Amino acid sequence: MRRRALDGLALILVQSNENDGALVALDRVLALRPRDPDALFLKGLALYKKQDWKGAVDVWTIYLDVGEFHPAADMVRPLYADARSRIGR
């Protein structure tokens, strides 16, 4: 599958709360393009929705580096801060 198709599939899966399926698709994208901002954004979101705070922070740390001007960056910053605050609780 092409990267865009996998990103699109992952978006639909995240929106449907099928986060495990989304993570499978996103890991395939990131295996080919480890710094793909769309895939990093969605993977962090899927992990956040699963309450995997450390996973979300790890992924979004990379995302905020490579996707600083990505359209979703403003949405991610407060979620990133929230996930960071929840690590270790």
Q: Which of 61, 59, 58, 57 has the alpha carbon at shortest distance from 42?
A: 59
Q: What is the pTM of this model?
A: 0.90
CA dihedral in degrees (36, 39, 40, 44; nearest 10)?
Answer: 180
Measured between alpha carbons, how far is 61 from 64 in angstroms, rounded to an integer?
5
Q: How confident is the model over 39-57, as pLDDT tens digits?
A: 999 999 999 999 999 999 9
51 or 88, greater pLDDT: 51
**Which residue segments constitute the domains of the chain, with CATH numbers given?**
3-86 (1.25.40.10)
Q: Which pair of structure tokens corresponds to residue 40? A: 């990093």
